[in-house]
Each structure stands twice: as C-alpha cells, then as structure tokens.
Structure 1
Amino acid sequence: MTGREVYLRSAASALPGTAVDNAALAARFGMDPLWEQWVEVFIGTKSRHLALDLESGKLTDSLADLATEAGGRALTAAGLGPGDVDAVVLGTATPDQLMPATVNVVADRLGIDGVRSFQLQSGCSGAVQALDVARQLLLGGSARTVLALGGDVIARFYDLDTDLRRTAPAELVNYVLFGDAAGAAVLSLDPAPGAAAVRTLFTRLVGLGRAPGAVLEWFGPADRDSDRPAATEDYKAIEQHVPRMTGEVLAELLDGLGWQPGDVDLLLPPQLSGRMTRLITEGLALPGAEAVSCVDEAGNCGNAIVFLQLEQALGRLAAGRRAVGISIESSKWLKAGFALEGV
C-alpha cells in the first residue's frame, strides 16, 4: 500500500421534489403557528425534501431512484462511465428492500456489472463508512476506481395520520429533523483536474455500554401491529454527546496529520439540525475555516448528507486548500472523520 494516493474525483447528489418548508408541514399536520416558530428556534431547520407526497401519502421516489441519479451524475462529473468502475459501495439505514440489496439494483440501473458490491447498514456515518471501504479497496490494490453511494428515504416511516399534538417529543422531532436524498462520490487512484487527495479517513464504533441515541425499527408480518414507534430520537443525549465527540474527532484528525487549526480552509461539520450544527461549528474554534453546511435547507438526510457537503466543498478546494469533515452517528455511537487537500 506504500505510496498509493486516493483521490476524490467527483461528488453529486439527488433530492426528491421541491423543498417542503415548516409552514407546509404545519399545515399538513394541523399544527398552529407557534409550532412552526418552535421548529425554527429549537431545531433550526427551515426545509427538507421528501420522497413522499404529503397529500396522498404515496412515495414518489425510492432510494434506488435517488442513488441511481446521484451515481450517474458523479460518474459524468468525473468523466467516467460504468465500465470504469471496479466496485460499488452503498451506505444506508433505509434500503428499499431487505433483498435484493439496493446497491445491486443501483449498479444494474447504471450499467455496472462484474464488479464487487457492498451494502453497509448504518446511520448517517454510513456515508463515511462507504468512503472508508472504497478507500481500502483502492489502497489494497483490488480496484482503481470505486463508486461510493449513500442515502436514505426516511419519509416512508412517517405516519401521516398521527396527531402530532399528542406525539411524544422523541417521535415528534423526526417529522421536522429529517429529509430524503442520495449522494455519490467517485474515488480513484488516478488524479484528475479538480480532484482532492484523501489525506486521512477513519470510522470508529464508540458505543460500548451506551444506550442507542436513535432507533429505526423494522416490522415484519409477525409484529407489524406492534405498538413500538417506528422511529425515535434521544435528542437530549445527542445534544450532550455529539459536540464533545466532534471536538475529539477534529483533534485526532489534526494531530494525525500535523495540521494546525489555522491550516483548515473548509469545515464539513456534523449535520444534525440547523441549530445544533451552528452550535457545534462555533465551539470548534476554527475561526479561519469556512463551514460547508446544507442541513438548514435539505434537512438531516442521513447517509446522503456527507455527499451533499462534498459536492459543495470539492469546487472550493483549489490546490493546497484543506478540508476536514466530521460525522457522528447516534444510533449506537460512531465517530467518523476525514481530511482532504486540493491537488
């Protein structure tokens, strides 16, 4: 593996439909204007994209639809075709089906065949896990070009008949926090104009003895009538642990590379909610770094969010400019970080 350099050649995203703002959500669920103000102040997310028609309750896009669109855009941006791809990796918490794996459906739609494929079941840090697997395949010499994908369609877990006025906070927050999207990135051993070198990248489970901070249930025929909520979020635990973990990841990235805080030009912070992301960014003490954030407008779209950030960041990484990205997953607590440098 000595001497190999991995390059991020391109990044792209796909969001379903038009943005759904807080007023539209309030109107759909019969909430009063005070609820809309609460979302703005305490959550800080203005809008999100949903793969769901709020009036009919029907899904408008599958994860495979969105991931295929994002993957095609990433390959086009990299100047590559399906025959150039040696492996495909997808990170998601919400595959369309248990089988076939959504990654294989996407590969088929893109015309990719005869390659390795991997689907990682994970929360939002699955995006970095997908990048990690892609990088390891490249460093190990079994591939020259890998398509990494990430995305989630969380709106399929919405119960549109729920009375939000009587919903517990751990469930209520999901209706305003999340959005749907997919993203993609092309990683390669071959540099190209506009590419960025992946200087370091890691993911690490740190959930020993910790209760899950987020739960997304799967219901089969035997328990479909369970009274367990489909999704819950321990927002208080997230507010307590994520800022500290983010600081730890940043310190590890900088120490490992020998970079100083002033060396960072772009910061891709965790994308939990508009309010949380702003608080975390302010607490990192990187005054010279420009924050790359999209959660205010796109919502927390799970495994897609890092790719949305990369899409924005890549064009700003001129030669010598540096970026660090951090992702913290609360489901069973994972830390993830990466560093890029324009070449």
Structure 2
Amino acid sequence: MSSGQAATAVIAGIGACLPERMVKNEEVSARLGLPDDWIRDRTGIEQRYVIEPTGATSDLAVGAGRQALDSCGNPDVDFVLLATCTPDQTFPATAPAVAARLGLKGVAAFDVNAACSGFIYALTIASSMIQAGAFRSGLVIGAEAVTASVDPHDQITAPVFGDGAGAVVLRRGGPGEPGAVLSQVMGSDGDLLDILVTPAGGSRQRAAGVPTDIPESYLRMQGRLVYKYAVKHMTAASETVLAQTGWKPEDVDWLVAHQANRRILTATARAIGVPAERAVVNVDRVANTSAASIPLALVDAMAEGRLSPGDRILFCAFGGGITWAAATLVWPDLPPAAAPAPPVPAASAV
C-alpha cells in the first residue's frame, strides 16, 4: 500500500458460541405461569440458550473468539475488544482474561460497555485503531451471559433474554476493500438510564449506604419505553449512516439489527424502508443476546447462505444507557461459517 492510500480495517474471520442448554418457551411459561403461546405472540421468541450456573461470559467469549481466529488461519492479532454488559466481575475488565485464555498474552485488551449497542461501538473503535496505523489487526467479541442478571420469575425480562457470543477478526486492508466499515454513527441519552438498568453492583448503590437488596441485582426493563426509543433511535441512526454512505433504503441487501424482539425488528425495518424479507432475524432461535446479537445473526445468515460477497449491509442497535449505533459495510468473501462452538470452561482454556 502506498503512503498516499488510507488504510481500512476489514473483516477477515467470524465465529460464534452458544451454550449447550437450549430452553424452550414451554419451560419458561410454566415457571412464570403464562399460556404456552404468550411469549411467542408478544416477542417472536421461541427458544433461547442458557449458560450453565458454573459458566461465565468469558467462557462464551473464548469459544467465539477461538472460532473466529480459526476461520482465518489463526493470525496474530494486536488487540482484543470485548463488548459486554455482563462481565465476569465488575473489576477488572474481562477482555484481558479472554485474551490470555486465547493465547494472546501481552496484547491490548479492554471491555466496551454500551449494552446491546456494544458490538457496533466496539467494531467502530477497533476499525479506528487499525485505520490510525497503530495496530495491524484485532479481535472484536460481543459476549453476554444475560440470564445470570435476570430475575427468573420476572415476566418482563425472563422470557426475552438468552446467552451467547459472536466475534470477528479485523485486519488492515486497502481502500475500498469489502468488509470495512464505511460509515458509522453512535449516540446516547443518559437521562433515560432507568428504562434499562441493573441498580446494584456499582459505586452508586454502595454510595447510597443501603445494603444490597437481591431484586436490585437484577436487570430492570420498562418494555413500552424500550420499544418506543429503540425504534426511534435505530431508525434515525440508520437514516444517518445511509445518507453518509450514499445509499438509499432500497440499496440495502440486508438489515442486521440488534435482535431485541420481533416487534421491534419489524417496526424498525418498516420505518427505515427496508422490506421485511431483507431483515435478518434469528431472535426466534436465540432470543435477545445483547451485544452478541449482531454477530450471531451474521453467522446464522451465513449458515443459511443468505450473505454473498458484495452485499450491502446495514447494522443498527439500541441498548441500555441509553445508547444507539448504526454502521454500513459491503460484505467480504469469507469461508463458510461453522456451527456455533460450545463455551470453553476456564479449566479448558487454550
């Protein structure tokens, strides 16, 4: 590459990880005292994967990260970014442990917490790090063990969330090379923090001088407000990046949005102007996996043969904070996606 050409960061590999335990709606409905079709009718979700009680987010991240590295010949990478809002512990970050377990000791590693928008945030940050010239390649992982922070008896949150991880390898590429983020937008509104929040576990709860209450340790969600603001901000962010890229809605081959629930996905696609059949949907099979949802949806779409080199992809997401993000890219030529790997227990670390 000549000195006059700007570097890009392109996707070179992809991987996924799902827990081995799959939980159907019937099990959740029985626990919550709901009719069998209640969850499917309101969310479009039919099943989810749940990590074992001895497992953690890092186990999922290592599984997805290992598969992504394997998919492109196990290149040396210079950094690991882990998008998660369910780290193994509040301190320190989980990314360094994931990097070490992948045999990547000594590389830069840190967590990115933008909740369900985290994967696009991390992808944008990682792309910028490579484009700036300081790094040649990196591993971006979205991993969540959300069910560990959900009240199993809460009718609002218990049916909606699942666990999983997805990862991509980025490498330095040339100008215009497929697989690079073309345009991106990120935003937030902290005044709406309370619509998606886990009150306990941080300095705010401790500073209040109140003993931790078990319910305060669970994720709280105001569903109606989440629906309202998710559709609003994912639509607006998508319109912005489409304009920046020079695309119209009809130019989009695939909308890969955060898999919150089917109603939000359908409403967002309609508002953007992308036909429903061009929206990748796997929320019915994996539920809402927060920062893992977009890479998991990509792997599903690849496995089904829906993604082709040159396809124009629109990403968008919304999460707690509140946060939102969108990005565009042209899909690269990648090897076929493997079936999601199982979690890698700490004792079995690479």
Deviation at 1:198, TM superposition (A): 2.0
Deviation at 1:115, TM superposition (A): 1.4
1:43 alignment counterpart = 43
Query: Judging changes above 3 Å, is the alpha-carbon distance between structure 1 residues 250 and 157 closer, same or farther for their aligned structure 2 residues?
Result: closer
**CA distance in structure 1 between the partners assigned to 2:99 and 2:217 by the alignment:** 33
2:194 to 192, 195, 212: 212
2:14 alignment counterpart = 11
Amino acid in structure 1 at the alignment position of 2:259: Q
Q: Deviations over 1:66-92 (max 9, x none)?
A: 1001000000112224xx101111111
Q: Are the counterparts in 1 of residues 142 and 166 from structure 2 also a CA contact under 8 Å? A: yes
2:318 alignment counterpart = 328
2:172 alignment counterpart = 189
Deviation at 1:113, TM superposition (A): 1.8
1:262 alignment counterpart = 250
Deviation at 1:299, TM superposition (A): 0.6
**CA distance in structure 1 between the partners assigned to 2:68 and 2:11 by the alignment:** 11
Matched, 1:178 2:161: yes
Q: Are the counterparts in 2 of residues 294 and 309 from structure 1 also a CA contact under 8 Å? A: yes
**CA distance in structure 1 between the partners assigned to 2:32 and 2:158 by the alignment:** 13
2:58 alignment counterpart = 64
Deviation at 1:100, TM superposition (A): 3.8
**CA distance in structure 1 between the partners assigned to 2:191 and 2:198 by the alignment:** 19
Deviation at 1:226, TM superposition (A): 5.6
Q: Are the counterparts in 1 of residues 117 and 258 from structure 2 also a CA contact under 8 Å? A: no
Matches within 5 A, 1:1-343: 3-27=6-30, 29=31, 31-32=33-34, 34=35, 36-52=36-52, 59-81=53-75, 84-160=76-152, 164=153, 171-190=154-173, 196-205=179-188, 207-219=189-201, 223-225=211-213, 228=216, 230-287=218-275, 290-313=278-301, 316-329=306-319, 331-343=320-332
Q: Which runs of 5+ in 1 are unaligned?
A: 53-58, 165-170
**CA distance in structure 1 between the partners assigned to 2:156 and 2:147 by the alignment:** 13
Q: Are the counterparts in 1 of residues 114 and 323 from structure 2 also a CA contact under 8 Å? A: no
Deviation at 1:42, TM superposition (A): 1.4
**CA distance in structure 2 between the partners assigned to 1:111 and 1:5 by the alignment:** 26
Query: Judging changes above 3 Å, is the alpha-carbon distance between structure 1 residues 189 and 312 closer, same or farther for their aligned structure 2 residues?
Result: farther
Equivalent position SS for 1:283: helix
TM-score normalised over the length of structure 1: 0.85
Q: Are the counterparts in 1 of residues 151 and 158 from structure 2 also a CA contact under 8 Å? A: no
Percent identity between matched residues is: 28
Deviation at 1:297, TM superposition (A): 0.8
TM-score normalised over the length of structure 2: 0.84
Query: What root-mean-square deviation, in Å, do the aligned CA atoms of Structure 1 and Structure 2 show?
Result: 2.4
Give the number of aligned pairs.
Answer: 319
Equivalent position SS for 2:105: coil
